[in-house]
């Protein structure tokens, strides 16, 4: 069967409605074939909009020339063209490849709405490389399942219609179609693991086993089916131990250890968090079994896994930010104050707190900088320690150093929207009320 027929057939199996196709177009051999096939297919379907998006990473001296080449080829095919330039933000211990991939997909996501398909040119050789790299890392089932042909992406879907085809198939089509493409010199560098697999490992293996790529794809399909099954099991288990924002430790521990870990991985994935290492996952399960007041803190790139009152929470980095600087609040000019720690404080009419006098300075301070340790609250009888008041408010520990304390001059008049000073109570309906939002 020809490459075009395989390509066309892949869409007949796709049970997703779409009115727009976005081709990720780097200008290399694979994406040039993808663009030509897309142009060939979708000219038969004028109700579907087709666009080529090129992401310029700026990593090579020829990057601008490559962008011009892509634009010229898209115009030759009669396909609308868009170029996106990105600047890489390389995190500690992150490879250039990974940073470039993250930036590339973020740029492509701008063009994908709820009725869009993003097409990428991954093929059977890429699938083999992905599986081998997952084996090298010691990945679990999610990693070994490699690349699915279709998945959710941005507001729409990402589709890989060439996964059943080999790079040799694409090269043959490109030559027969007299296509022009870019040769990126970095694709020859043995510095990159994928290139080592592509140029040294795969040729040796396919020489001995010519059908290797087809059998690898079959194994990947089996692994993906297995992953779907354990995801279904995790979703079922989560219904018994999860609320909207947390996991009940007691309910989680009713499961076997393997199912506990499966639920935790699934939970993290639903929140788009990185998977923990095997040692970290074991630590979470072990600490769920610890005494009730033991602290659980597992750090991940997006934040921390914390335990509070028998439940596990995902606490993002913004929620861990502790502000120490004083904010001055001009309440007349600013009904809503954005605090440096990402939370928000606003005031409204019709509350219990006296509004500030015209000469009074309103400031926002935080727990670490308080010179007082007790407060006479209208909501409680007598003076109580601030620590006790925050505990009684059932405030999660990671929020206690972020909560705003409101001062008129040097007088503490309110603790966010939780407590109001007895000395600054207004007559009924003549005061103001505060509202604090811990995150946006």
Residue 321 pLDDT > 90, yes or no? Answer: no
Tokens 């395989």 locate to: 6
Beta bridge partners of 405: 365, 415
Sign of CA dihedral 24, 26, 30, 36: positive
Task: Pick the range with the lowest mean pLDDT from 206-210, 357-361, 394-398.
Answer: 394-398
Task: Tell me which residue of 61, 63, 59, 58 sits closest to 27, measured CA to CA.
Answer: 63
Residue 267 pLDDT > 70, yes or no? Answer: yes
Contact status, residue 305 vs residue 312, Cβ threshold 8 Å: yes
Longest dimension (CA), the chain: 89
Q: What is the mean pLDDT of the chain?
A: 90
In 341-440, which residue ranges form alpha helices assigned H by DSSP?
386-392
Contact status, residue 162 vs residue 173, Cβ threshold 8 Å: no
Rounded distance between C-alpha atoms, residue 418 and residue 331, angstroms: 19
Phi, psi of 200 (to 5 degrees): -115, -45
pLDDT of 260 reads 94
pLDDT band at 367 (very low <50, low <70, confident <90, very high): confident
Q: pLDDT of 133-172, one tens digit each?
A: 999 988 888 889 999 999 999 999 999 999 999 999 999 9
Percentage of the residues of the chain whose pLDDT score is greater than 70: 96
Contact status, residue 101 vs residue 140, Cβ threshold 8 Å: no
Contact status, residue 387 vs residue 314, Cβ threshold 8 Å: no
Contact status, residue 297 vs residue 306, Cβ threshold 8 Å: yes
């Amino acid at each position: 069967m020809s490459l075009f027929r395989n390509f066309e057939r892949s869409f007949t199996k796709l049970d997703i409605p779409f009115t727009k196709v976005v081709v990720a177009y780097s200008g290399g051999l694979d994406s040039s074939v993808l663009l030509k096939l897309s142009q060939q297919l979708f000219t038969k379907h004028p109700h579907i909009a087709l666009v080529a998006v090129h992401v310029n990473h700026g990593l090579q001296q020829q990057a601008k020339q490559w962008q011009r080449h892509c634009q010229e080829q898209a115009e030759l095919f009669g396909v609308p063209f868009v170029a996106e330039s990105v600047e890489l933000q390389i995190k500690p211990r992150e490879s250039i490849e990974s940073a470039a991939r993250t930036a590339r997909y973020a740029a492509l996501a701008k063009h994908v709405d709820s009725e869009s398909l993003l097409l990428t040119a991954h093929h059977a050789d890429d699938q083999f490389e992905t599986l081998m790299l997952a084996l090298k890392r010691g990945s679990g089932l999610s990693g070994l399942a490699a690349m699915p042909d279709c998945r959710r992406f941005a507001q729409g879907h990402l589709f890989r219609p060439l996964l059943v085809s080999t790079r040799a198939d694409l090269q043959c089509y490109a030559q027969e179609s007299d296509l022009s493409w870019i040769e990126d010199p970095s694709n020859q560098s043995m510095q990159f693991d994928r290139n080592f697999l592509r140029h040294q490992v795969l040729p040796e293996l396919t020489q001995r086993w010519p059908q290797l790529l087809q059998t690898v794809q079959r194994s990947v399909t089996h692994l993906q089916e297995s992953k779907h099954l354990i995801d279904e099991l995790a979703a079922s288990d989560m219904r018994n131990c999860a609320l909207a924002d947390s996991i009940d430790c007691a309910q989680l521990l009713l499961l076997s250890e393997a199912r506990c870990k499966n639920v935790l991985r699934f939970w993290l994935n639903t929140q788009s968090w990185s998977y923990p290492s095997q040692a970290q996952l074991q630590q979470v399960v072990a600490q769920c079994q610890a005494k009730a007041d033991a602290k659980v803190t597992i750090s991940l790139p997006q934040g921390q896994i914390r335990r509070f009152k028998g439940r596990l929470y995902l606490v993002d980095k913004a929620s861990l930010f502790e502000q120490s600087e004083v904010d001055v609040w001009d309440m007349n000019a600013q009904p809503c104050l954005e605090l440096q720690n990402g939370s928000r404080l606003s005031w409204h009419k019709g509350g219990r707190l006296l509004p500030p006098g015209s000469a009074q300075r309103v400031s926002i301070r935080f727990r670490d900088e308080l010179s007082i340790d007790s407060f006479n609250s209208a909501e409680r009888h007598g003076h109580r320690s601030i620590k006790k008041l925050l505990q009684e408010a059932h405030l999660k520990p990671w929020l206690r150093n972020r909560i705003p304390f409101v001062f008129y001059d040097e007088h503490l008049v309110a603790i966010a929207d939780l407590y109001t000073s007895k000395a600054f109570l207004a007559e009924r309906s003549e005061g103001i009320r505060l509202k604090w939002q811990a995150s946006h």
